[in-house]
Amino acid sequence: MTEFLQQIINGISLGSVYALISIGYTMVYGIIKLINFAHCDIFMVGAYTGYFAITTLRLGFIPALFFSMAVCALLGVVIERVAYKPLRNSAKETLLITTIGVELFLQNIIKTKALAGPNVLNFPEVIPTATFKIGGLQFSNIQLITLGISVIMCAALQFLISKTNTGRAMRATSYDRDAAALMGININRIISVTFAIGSALAATGGIVFGMLYPKLEPIMGVMPGLKAFVAAVLGGIGIVPGAMVGGLSIGLIETLSKVYISSGLSDAIAFIILIIILLVKPTGLFGKRNVKV
């Protein structure tokens, strides 16, 4: 029983990492209908930036976090302006390929000698790990911080999107750009803001990830990114609370199936569950379907 509860804690901890990445994913998707595969590489850049902020610039945790968020926000905006904006009216497959191109670019540029080099780096221990034990159950302060950050980010983002003027403008831009412009919305700015926020979130994810799993390498974003993408879809793409729930679910499913069903098949099990859920709810757990003929 204790072990089961411990596994639940493990699952939630893993899931909150997925959720954190997933939230940013889903937000960018929700606003510009773009599966931004480069998101997980901005996540990677976020982790590396955090690394340099802490080791080279000798910043503390919070300043390093903000530094990394700022760098990634800027990076996100630049990527959007250079690589995505000219393709706004193109087929979404075209954009998808471009995001994959950007992804390859980021992965390959980070490992050049001028930047991080090809070797793995170790994310420094900015916050000393403290482990708590309660009745045989064990968890660390970093795990708590991760969960806390993802819940707060999720709530803040959801509030921003659903309740504020900027959020409405984001949704309007996503729905119909010309009509949004006729409302006086500066759509280029809104899209930039969206990317800035999404990328800053990715940076947060990167740093938290680095603290939990202190290993930095150029492809570090790929697998968590894929899982986060799955989480976003599971929750209903574009829906922030959905991404949160999706992330936690994937974390739990992965952990429990690994331990109690088969470690070799756990990824397959996670996907099978995803497919089944989508067959029952074709637009994800929280997705809505609007067909008007």
Ligand X SMILES: Nc1ncnc2c1ncn2[C@@H]1O[C@H](COP(=O)(O)OP(=O)(O)OP(=O)(O)O)[C@@H](O)[C@H]1O
Residue 167 Cβ, how far from another protein at the closest point, in Å? 10
Q: Which residues contact 233 (CB under 8 A, 6 or more apart)?
A: 246, 274, 278, 284
Dihedrals φ, ψ of 108, to 5°? -85, -25
Own/partner pairs, 156-159, CB within 8 angstroms, 24+ separation: 157/23, 157/27, 157/197, 157/201, 157/240, 158/240, 158/241
Helices 240-260 and 141-163 pack at an angle, to 10 degrees, of 150
Q: Which DSSP letter does residue 81 get?
A: I
176, interface contact from another protein, ligand X, none, CB < 5-8 Å by kind:
another protein
Residue 292 Cβ, how far from ligand X at the closest point, in Å? 5
Residues 252 to 291: which contact ligand X by CB under 6 A? Answer: 291
Q: Which DSSP letter does residue 34 get?
A: -
Binding residue for another protein, selected from 53, 193, 237, 244, defined by CB under 8 A = 237
Residue 118 Cβ, how far from another protein at the closest point, in Å? 4
Distance CA 284, CA 231 (A): 10
Residues 165 to 224: which contact another protein by CB under 8 A? Answer: 165, 168-169, 171-172, 175-176, 178-187, 209, 212-215, 217-220, 222-224
Per CB under 8 A, 56 contacts another protein = no
Binding residue for ligand X, selected from 58, 113, 288, 292, defined by CB under 6 A = 292
49, interface contact from ligand X, another protein, none, CB < 5-8 Å by kind:
none
Residue 60 Cβ, how far from ligand X at the closest point, in Å? 53
Per-residue x/- mask for another protein, residues 82 to 121, rule CB under 8 A? Answer: -x--xx--xx-xx-xxx-xxxxxx--xx-xx-----xxxx
Per-residue x/- mask for another protein, residues 3 to 32, rule CB under 8 A? Answer: x--xx--xx-xx--x-----------x---
Per CB under 8 A, 77 contacts another protein = no
User: What are the C-alpha distances in Å from 276 to residues 10, 106, 190, 206, 254?
Assistant: 24, 34, 36, 30, 15
Number of residues that bind ligand X (CB under 6 A): 2
Distance CA 53, CA 293 (A): 54
- 52/168 with CB nearer another protein: 168
